[in-house]
Amino acid sequence: MRRPIFAVFLVLILAPLASAQDTDGDGYDDPTENFTVWDGADAYPNNPDIHDPVFSAGCDPPVATLDLGEPVTFTCTIGNEGPVSLNVLIYVEDDTHLRDEFDPAYYDINSGEVLELKVTLSGLSEGIAMAQLQVFARANSSASHTVDLPIEVTGDEWSGMNSQSESGSPPDLSFVYRLLDDLADWLTEHTPWNFSSMQAGLIVLIGSFCLIGILRVSRARRAWHKNMEQKQTTDQQTEARFDEIRRGGEHEHHIEHTIPESPEFIIRRNE
């Protein structure tokens, strides 16, 4: 009789020291370094009513409407509501109408921590689509938590680049319109006629053309005068040279300094 009693006593003493431990007695062992919640440990080791991890998750915007090729980026938050740190796989299940630009990855989320992720999807074909953010907290198990991302894809091509460039230009145009309005007001005040901003614009346009024309004419005139002056100088020089030639042969060699003296003359001088 003493032996069985001793054995039970021994088990009761050693039980808490054993490696596999189920503190709350729900049949799921407490998590350890080698046996985590991912492997199947109790996510709530001190609560016999619960053993699976619990998350709070949501994405913003809750719904989206996209044109073909248009992207949308959801900001998703995943909070670990349990008392144990978790390692989770986050995956985005796309739809035939969507292109998924999210790379699945593992994340550590401590107890009470909230993870924030950006999930980008773009419209691929027309239709009502349902993407899903999935949080896997256990190996070989279905998703522990999912967030639906309802998206309607229209049949229109996304004019993304065009609309971006258009959105940049209106301030410049409104500035021009305002100037024309001011000019029209000024002209109406200072002349006996009424001017619209379009007429003011025409006046500015015609004025600009006239100004360019005047500038061109004056520049051409200046060039013509310059040419004429040059022509007169060269004409005068030519006439002067002719005059010298006409005066007679005796001065001819004085004019053409570059002609060398003949070797015959040099020899004769040396004798």
Residues that bind Ca ion (CB under 5 A): 22, 24, 26, 28, 42, 44, 47, 51
Instruction: State which residue, 97 or 138, has the beta carbon closest to Ca ion.
Output: 138
Instruction: State which residue, 51 or 138, has the beta carbon closest to Ca ion.
Output: 51
CA angle 122, 103, 140 (to 5 degrees): 120
| Cα 201 from Cα 179, distance rounded (Å) | 9
> Are the beta carbons of 100 and 91 closer than 8 angstroms?
no
Q: Which residues of 55-94 are buried (b: 16+ CB within 10 A; e: fewer)?
A: bebebeeeebebbbebebebebebbbebebebebbbbbbb
> Are the beta carbons of 265 and 253 closer than 8 angstroms?
no
Nearest distance in Å: CB 34, Ca ion: 16
Instruction: State which residue, 21 or 197, has the beta carbon closest to Ca ion.
Output: 21
| Cα 21 from Cα 27, distance rounded (Å) | 9
Nearest distance in Å: CB 33, Ca ion: 17
Nearest distance in Å: CB 37, Ca ion: 11
Which residue's Cβ has the minimum distance to Ca ion?
42
Nearest distance in Å: CB 59, Ca ion: 29
Nearest distance in Å: CB 65, Ca ion: 43
Instruction: State which residue, 83 or 155, has the beta carbon closest to Ca ion.
Output: 83
Instruction: State which residue, 45 or 201, has the beta carbon closest to Ca ion.
Output: 45
At 116, list the tokens. 């924030």
Strands (E), 124-257: 127-136, 145-157
Pairing of strands 64-68, 86-93: unpaired
